[in-house]
């Protein structure tokens, strides 16, 4: 009797197939360290009263900011384990329906939120609603036009992606177009993480020299981007013809000396 060949099993998922597990990997730790440094530099000179970070409790993007009220917005699926490390005001809510009043926030930080959202346009519309005029929005994400993005595209074909498989990475050009439609103006931007898309801690540690080379020779091909934008207030313009208003003339006052002279003449006549 000829034995039946075993049915080939499906290729196992990588150890960091999910977003949270990927952040614990060597490349994930590398990205978090770079982003923490960039956020610290950008938020230090942003002033106001209310600042919100949405998601990614693994880092505190507002640690260098001096606003009196800082909070972290988490949805029901986010882990509270990492948020306990920081002195957060925790708020649970939906990013598509932010639990804040209109024009009530001065700073909103979106670290890797849009690329894992079902409707990133709705999130940006909500932020436009809750952000006050001249308020600041900071976004970070993976750059598809990089070596990491190329490896992610190729590795998806064989079922073993390098980055989390549930992310739909958005180019910076598209994000700029979305912000422009909402009347945001770009303030500054950064690219970073130029190391090769490897997995081992030791192999990534030996590529530190690529950071300075990438910043100088191929800056727009960094694996991660960070962009800051300001919400602008649209100008107010009167429409139609404005009816002229006649200002009544002010009666001239008679000087005191002239009044006395007139009074003397009247007494003489009488």
Q: Give the pLDDT confidence of 129-148 residue by residue, as tens digits.
A: 999 999 999 999 999 999 99
Contacts of 63 (CB under 8 A, 6+ apart): 40, 86
Please give the torsion angle defined by the CA atoms of residues 62, 67, 69 and 75, in that order, rounded to the nearest 10 degrees: -30
Is 5 domain-assigned? no
State the total domains in the chain: 1
Can you tell me the mean pLDDT for 221-225?
94
Both tokens of 24, joined, read 């614990």
| 82 found inside a domain | yes
Segments forming the whole domain that contains residue 178:
19-231
Q: Tell me, what CATH number does 66's domain have?
A: 3.40.50.150
Q: Return the residue matching tokens 């993480």.
A: 193
Question: Are 74 and 80 in contact, with CB atoms under 8 Å apart?
Answer: yes
Is the model more confident about 35 or about 253? 35
Beta strands in 105-254 (DSSP E): 105-111, 131-142, 184-192, 224-231
Query: Is the residue at 261 inside a domain?
Result: no
- Alpha carbons 72 and 78: distance in angstroms, whole number: 11
- 124 pLDDT above the threshold of 90: yes
* Of 117, 230, 96, 229, nearest in space to 170 by CA: 117
Whether 179 is in a domain gets the answer yes
> Does residue 142 form part of some domain?
yes
The secondary element (H helix, E strand) that includes residue 62 is none
- The answer to whether residue 84 is domain-embedded is yes
Give the chain's mean pLDDT. Answer: 82
Q: Is residue 32 part of a domain?
A: yes
Strand order in the sheet with 131-142: 89-92, 69-74, 50-54, 105-111, 131-142, 224-231, 184-192
Strand partners, 107: 51, 136
Is 265 domain-assigned? Answer: no
């Amino acid at each position: 009797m000829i034995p039946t060949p075993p049915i080939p099993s499906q290729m196992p998922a990588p150890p960091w197939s999910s977003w949270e597990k990927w952040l614990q990997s060597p490349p994930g730790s590398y990205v978090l360290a770079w982003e923490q440094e960039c956020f610290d530099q950008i938020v230090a000179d942003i002033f106001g009263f209310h600042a919100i970070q949405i998601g990614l409790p693994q880092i505190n993007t507002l640690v260098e900011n001096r606003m009196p009220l800082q909070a972290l917005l988490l949805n029901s699926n986010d882990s509270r384990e990492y948020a306990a490390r920081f002195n957060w005001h925790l708020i649970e809510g939906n990013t598509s329906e932010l639990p804040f009043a209109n024009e009530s926030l001065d700073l909103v930080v979106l670290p890797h939120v849009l690329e894992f959202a079902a409707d990133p346009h709705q999130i940006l519309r909500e932020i436009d609603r809750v952000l006050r005029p001249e308020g600041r929005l900071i976004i970070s994400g993976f750059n598809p036009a990089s070596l990491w993005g190329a490896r992610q595209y190729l590795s998806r074909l064989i079922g073993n992606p390098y980055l989390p498989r549930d992310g739909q990475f958005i180019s910076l050009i598209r994000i700029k177009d979305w912000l422009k439609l909402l009347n945001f103006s770009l303030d500054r931007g950064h690219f970073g993480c130029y190391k090769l898309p490897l997995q081992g801690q030791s192999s990534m540690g030996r590529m530190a020299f690529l950071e300075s080379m990438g910043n100088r020779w191929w800056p727009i091909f960094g694996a991660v981007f960070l962009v800051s934008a300001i919400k602008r207030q649209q100008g107010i313009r009167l429409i139609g013809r404005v009816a002229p208003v006649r200002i009544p003339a002010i009666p001239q006052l008679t000087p005191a000396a002239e009044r006395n002279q007139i009074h003397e003449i009247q007494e003489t006549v009488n």
